[in-house]
Chain A
Amino acid sequence: MSVVKKDYVRPIDFKTGRVDMSHGAGGRAMAQLIDELFVAAFDNEWLRQLNDQACFAVPTGRMVMATDSHVVSPLFFPGGDIGSLSVHGTINDVAMSGARPLYLSATFILEEGFPLADLRRIVESMAAASQEAGVPVVTGDTKVVEKGKGDGVFITTTGVGIVTEGIEISGDRARPGDKVLVSGTLGDHGVAIMSFRENLQFETTIRSDTAALHGLVARMVEAVPGIRCLRDPTRGGLAATLNEFARQSRVGFRIRERDVPVRSEVNAACELLGLDPLYVANEGKLVAICAPEDAERLLATMRAHPLGRDAAVIGEAIDDSHRFVQMETGFGGSRIVDWLSGEQLPRIC
């Protein structure tokens, strides 16, 4: 009587192995990668079901959804990597509506030849970030493109969350007289990436500020439910965010350079590279706009949270039909803080 032997499956070689086309072909190799890497790292009840979708109960209230693609180069940088960045980025986009983020999805586009060791490092970093934030990755997808048609790994994450009735946070709600607050020092992420880029290595202690801000936002919304606008100033920095608010809300802004918190190391690096910290990306900061009477309470709430320690009121919304963002310079003059033109830093998030 013959016995059907149990299939032997050679474990994936995460030390020296590389991504090949079979990892995205829908066959055994792909199933094995999902099992041994993604399910193992993200481990949760939805992924363990091995379905093509995650099914979950919907709480009452309004749902919020956001998506974000990550193509950062280099993949690993001081303070984080593309994995943690992809979790924080989408959580923050969901949270900037005042919502509580609930679930994430993750899509990986892998380039043939990408080291599996790096992939594992990235996935484990994502898993740690999602666990720390309490927002599980419940469904995902993996595709492999031929060598030369990608750049190692691209990650797209999508998040859903739920926002309490009565919270109306939107970029079009700023009014003249409202106060502008930032949650901390600006430009850390962009400069950390830049300091690590190929050809441009200079010694610095600056680390990316990549962080999930939903905890901070929850406290802020609790203290001041009437917050008008929230946004994380990622690409294009503070300048882009304020210009977006100005356009959406049909107002202008006037900020004071000396009140904008910037680390002296970041200032020095920007000086060296010819950059303006106001345009440099952040991944763990937010800009908030609130009514003038709420500003003090909001500032105190932010400063009481570890991610808002260096928060500051930096200016006000003003009536301006041109929607200019103006700045009083530390020197004593004034100037526009315009939209970024062209690109300041390539591929930073």
Chain B
Amino acid sequence: MKYVDEFRDGQLARILADRIAQAVEPGRTYRFMEFCGGHTHAISRYGVTDLLPASVEMVHGPGCPVCVLPIGRIDNAIALALEHGAILCTYADTMRVPASERSSLTKAKAAGADIRMVYSAADALRIARENPAREVVFFAIGFETTTPPTAIAILAAERAGLANFSVFCNHVLTPAAIANILESPQVRDIGTVPLDGFVGPAHVSCVIGSQPYEFFAEEYAKPVVIAGFEPLDVMQAVLMLVEQVNDGRHEVENEFSRAVTREGNGKAKALVAEVFELRRSFEWRGLGEVPYSALRIKTKYARFDAEKRFGIVYRAVADNKACECGAILRGAKRPKDCKVFGTVCTPENPLGSCMVSSEGACAAYYTYGRFRDREAA
């Protein structure tokens, strides 16, 4: 497959693996966090860690939009469908995220809620046009990548005068989350999660550009290499990070130059700025309340805001006590450090959100990598 296979080439991978092996300094360890679930998935699916020296450790970050959705927001979405009788349109990954009282969108659907899986916000708009007598709510989740399409849907709904369409907005922001991880006590004060650098987001950076990372590369003295989601991209980024660490540099470098510029996509950013504004605070699963880390719909478009339209009240719900998703999302623990991993919590019956999406650290490790535990044992 043109333009894809080139980035999964086993021969090039071996060459890069040799270069990384030569670059790492003896006696030194390198811990890099890949922020995005897309990277986590690529690393697991292609077995990238098999090609890295033992001294390079990849730590999974919180960049899985499904994983960071707190229980309370899922409860809100279920209420929109069950109590307000709306057609709730959602991305498929969200269907199995655990909600309160062992519920989920899948279970709510079985209980009679009209929940429909869509591939894009545009599908939700079409459903709204086809069902003029019903309220149709788009359950908008995701980082900066999925935000512009939601903005387009709202603007299109306004132009078309669609009275039955609204958006339950849960869009979150990457830079705020990275800063939060670096600010968390585990990282900064106690120092139990030493991170030597970040593999920066691919698709998010296409939208926001590389510039937003410059502040914390500088402030926290951590190198950032923006990388594409293909396995060779990840290997190349690891090499660039190792070289930065060796040189004592902490710059923002762009491995994904075929798609990412410093400024990002101006048109997409303008669309987002037109429709959305910052929330003062938003709860993330695993990170807790993170200031200015999410978006809400501007008052100008309030009639498309499901939270206002249906008077949604947010109620925080604590995660299951046994669940270590919080620590795993911060990179403080690994999936196998969690007592319920692979026992009570599996992809079929996820207890925590990291086990739901294929981009979640636990699901990726369970699905692709758990044979390594046996080899280690």
Contacts and interface: CB of A to CB of B under 8 A. Distances in A.
B1 interface: yes
What's the interface size class on B, roughly? 20 to 34
Secondary structure at chain B's binding surface: helix, strand, loop or mixed? Answer: helix
A331 B8 contact: yes
Nearest to A325: B371
Interface in A311-339: 322, 324, 326, 329-336, 338
Contacts of B119: 199-200
Contact of A338 (B10, B49, B231, B368): B368
Given A199-B119, A329-B45, A329-B46, A271 B1 contact: yes
A331 B10 contact: yes
A50 interface: no
Interface string B304-327: 000000000000000000000000
A324 B49 CA distance: 19
Interface of B: 1, 4, 8-10, 13-14, 17, 44-51, 96, 118-119, 123, 126, 231, 346-348, 366-371, 374
Contacts of A338: 366-368
Contacts of A331: 8-10, 13, 46-48, 51, 231
Given A267-B1, A271-B4, A342-B96, A333 B47 contact: yes
13 contacts: A199-B118, A199-B126, A264-B1, A271-B1, A322-B371, A329-B46, A331-B8, A333-B47, A333-B48, A333-B49, A336-B369, A338-B367, A342-B96
List 8 A-B pairs, minimum CB-CB distance, nearest first.
A333-B47, A341-B347, A333-B50, A335-B368, A331-B46, A332-B10, A334-B47, A338-B367
A268 interface: yes
Contacts of A200: 119
Given A331-B8, A334-B50, A341 B367 contact: yes
Nearest to B117: A346
Interface of A: 199-200, 258, 264, 267-268, 271, 322, 324, 326, 329-336, 338, 341-342
Contacts of B14: 332
A326 B348 contact: no
Given A199-B119, A268-B1, A342-B347, A336 B367 contact: yes
Nearest to A344: B92
A330 B47 CA distance: 10
A264 B1 CA distance: 6
A226 B96 CA distance: 44
Contacts of B123: 199
Contact of A336 (B1, B4, B10, B370): B370
Given A258-B10, A329-B45, A331-B48, 12 more contacts: A199-B119, A200-B119, A322-B371, A330-B8, A333-B48, A333-B231, A334-B371, A335-B46, A336-B371, A341-B346, A341-B347, A342-B348
Contacts, number: 72
A332 B366 contact: no
A199 B129 CA distance: 14
A334 B51 CA distance: 10
Contacts of A336: 367-371
Contacts of A334: 47, 50, 371
B368 A341 contact: no
A322 B374 contact: yes
Contacts of B48: 331, 333
Residue in A322, A334, A341 whose Cβ sees the most chain B Cβ within 10 Å: A341
Contacts of A335: 44-47, 368-369
Contacts of A271: 1, 4
A218 to B, nearest CB: 36
Nearest to B371: A324
A264 B5 CA distance: 10
Contacts of B17: 332
A267 B4 CA distance: 10
Residue in A268, A324, A334 whose Cβ sees the most chain B Cβ within 10 Å: A334
Given A199-B123, A200-B119, A332 B47 contact: yes
Contacts of A342: 96, 347-348
Nearest to B45: A335
Nearest to B46: A331
Nearest to B126: A199
A233 to B, nearest CB: 18
Contacts of A258: 10
A333 B371 contact: no
A73 to B, nearest CB: 14
A336 B348 CA distance: 16
A333 B10 CA distance: 9
B46 A333 contact: yes
A223 to B, nearest CB: 34
A151 to B, nearest CB: 16
Contacts of A330: 8, 10, 46
A332 B1 contact: no
Contacts of B9: 331
Contacts of B366: 338
Nearest to B120: A199
Contacts of B346: 341
A66 B287 CA distance: 52
Contacts of B46: 329-331, 333, 335
Nearest to A267: B1
B232 to A, nearest CB: 8
Nearest to A333: B47
A336 B364 CA distance: 10
Contact of A332 (B50, B96, B369): B50
A331 B1 CA distance: 14
Contacts of B96: 342
A81 to B, nearest CB: 24
Contact of A333 (B1, B51, B367, B374): B51
Nearest to A265: B1
Residue in B13, B44, B47, B369 whose Cβ sees the most chain A Cβ within 10 Å: B47
A157 B1 CA distance: 38
Nearest to B363: A341
Contacts of A326: 371
